[in-house]
Amino acid sequence: MAEIRSEEPPVIDFGPFYSSDPIAQKKLTSEIQEACEKFGFFQLVNHNIPVALQKSVIAQSEAFFKLPLATKEKYHKDLDGFNRGYEPLRAQNFEKRTRGDLKEGFYLGKNLSLDDPFVIAKRFGQGPNKYPAEIEDPKSFQSTMEEYHESMTELAIDLLTVIEWTLGLEEGYFSSFCEKPVAALRLLHYPPQDPATAETERGIGAHTDFGAVTMLLQDETGGLQVWNDASKGWVDVTPRSGAYVVNLGNMMMRWTNDRYLSNLHRVINRSGKERFSVPFFFSGNPDYVVECLPRCMDPVEGAKYPPITVHDWMTGRFADTYGSSKEGVMGDLRQNAVAEST
Ligand SMILES: O=C(O)CCC(=O)C(=O)O
Ligand SMILES: [Fe+2]
């Protein structure tokens, strides 16, 4: 019997997007299409985010997590209803069989004022950021995060343009989705884990992401793994300096009628060192209605899922995670099966 090899998600050169070379752009389109169908994951190099900006985001993140716990707790994300700020160690527990995920986080988004109409209307993910005053250089913490959030929003829109190409959609199909988008930035810190607990301890338990696309900056520590359904095993996503690990979320899978994969992933930090990572979750305009894309409709069965707004989809997925919804959702069965088999 032929051995099923566990392949890593491909590394894709995004440079051609910024060129005017149609042949290189065609190659980029087919590489991204294949990665979306096969893995739901890839690494992106030659994007336009400056290395210096990436380094300052990680440095500011390290500076924040070094603050005393009591200081970090002053910025707890549950102190108001905006889901921005500090989330302590073990607050999330994706696999529900450990003591909770061994990571702490700091959540940011686009920094909107309280009188912004979307904030007043309580649309998903909209609100003001929290900024720590006790950090060494509070002004540059804020400006770094705001500049990075803006640059990542632009990169996500560029990537969605290529995804538009991969799906044969007309130019600008995703424009209204990308207007005033919900986009969350998370600073994550994974302490080293005790080797004796390697079987049960998770930095982040197996899960799929909720939104459209996630673009993750990881340091050189390693520990991120993606599920390979062909070999029924976990595959390392080897860190590449400056690259983004891109993965599709459940919303994109639903939107494409399951043609594109929102794949399971997890982190186990066996390195003995601290790990820092910064995912950026792009979920689009809260009022946008996500409904089966034209070329993804099954000729016989039609669309598998009814239309839903970004707001309702994201709110529902968060409710599932935090245990206030009884509704079963796509991916959960698969997720539980994998969690139990590892
Ligand atoms: O830190 C990582 O490498 C992964 C984080 C992640 O999957 C998430 O926050 O959804
Ligand atoms: Fe994730």
Give whole-number Cα distances, 313 to 86, 183, 213, 298, in Å.
Answer: 24, 14, 14, 22
Q: Which helix (H) or strand (E) holds 59?
A: helix 51-65
Helix (H, G, I), strand (E, B) or coil at 277: strand
Pocket-forming residues, ligand 1, beta carbon under 6 Å:
186, 188, 204, 209, 216, 218, 224, 265, 267, 277, 279
Query: Would you call 5 exposed, middle or buried from its count of C-beta atoms within 10 A (0-12, 13-18, 19+)?
Result: exposed
ipTM over 0.95: yes
Question: What's the 280 CA to ligand 2 centre distance in angstroms?
Answer: 10
Q: Atom 9 in ligand 1: which residue has the minimum CA distance?
A: 279
Nearest CA among 278, 323, 334, 252 for reference residue 35: 252
How many residues comprise the chain? 342
Instruction: Please report the pLDDT score of residue 326 as a whole number.
Output: 37
SS3 333: helix
CA–CA separation, 229 vs 60, rounded Å?
37
**pLDDT at 32 > cutoff 70:** yes
Q: pLDDT tens digits for 285-295?
A: 999 999 999 99
- Considering Cα of 270, then 215, then 30, then 25, what sign does the dihedral take? negative
**Cross-strand pairs, 267:** 204, 224
pLDDT tens readout for residues 220-273: 999 999 999 888 899 999 999 999 999 999 999 999 999 999 999 999 999 999
At 185-225, the pLDDT tens digits run 999 999 998 878 767 889 999 999 999 999 999 999 999 99
